[in-house]
Amino acid sequence: MRPPATQSKREREKAELRQQTRYRVEFPISCTGDCITTGTVYNLGLGGCKIMSAARVAMEIGAILKLELRPPQLAPIHVYAATVRWTMEDDFGVDFLGMQESERDRLVQWLEQLAEES
């Protein structure tokens, strides 16, 4: 691997993704914005998640979404900006671009709880 100063943007993004732990989860989500859908969250991390859409939708890479994550036994967690990074049939992956600090703190706490349980 090249030193950070000479890495391409894509290489840096891949390295960052590998550094973030992902957790296997399964709970509902609502998406609005460039596309409106509901679905199920799988493979959640602090930087994003995998979503399986409840209905076939034409999700485009780069679409900007607002998300309402509904983890079990918690009030919904809101992400006010996420972008679609990949799509495959009914699944798509999003990177979280922006969320209020209080929402991010709640997500961090919940992910820490998942880490302790695993």
75, 107 Cβ separation under 8 angstroms = no
Domain annotation covers residue 5: no
Tell me if residue 17 falls in helix, strand or coil. Answer: helix
pLDDT over threshold 60, residue 13: no
116, 110 Cβ separation under 8 angstroms = no
pLDDT tens digits, 34-78: 988 999 999 999 999 999 998 877 889 999 999 999 999 899 999
For the chain, how many structural domains are there in total? 1
Q: What is the CATH number of the domain that holds 103?
A: 2.40.10.220
pLDDT over threshold 80, residue 16: no
Q: What is the pLDDT of residue 1?
A: 42
Helix (H) or strand (E) holding 79: strand 77-88
Q: Determine the structural domain holding residue 96 and report its residue range.
A: 21-117
Mean pLDDT for 30-37 is: 92
pLDDT tens digits, 79-116: 999 999 999 988 999 999 999 999 999 999 999 988 88
Domain annotation covers residue 90: yes
Q: What is the pLDDT of residue 107?
A: 94
Which residues have C-beta within 8 Å of that of residue 103, sequence separation ≥ 6? 77, 78, 79
Q: What is the pLDDT of residue 54?
A: 82
Domain annotation covers residue 14: no
Residue 4 CA to residue 15 CA, distance in Å, equals 10
- Phi then psi for residue 108, to 5 deg, are -60, -45
Give the chain's end-to-end CA distance (angstroms, integer): 30
Domain annotation covers residue 9: no
Domain annotation covers residue 2: no
Q: What is the pTM of this model?
A: 0.79
Residue 94 CA to residue 74 CA, distance in Å, equals 21
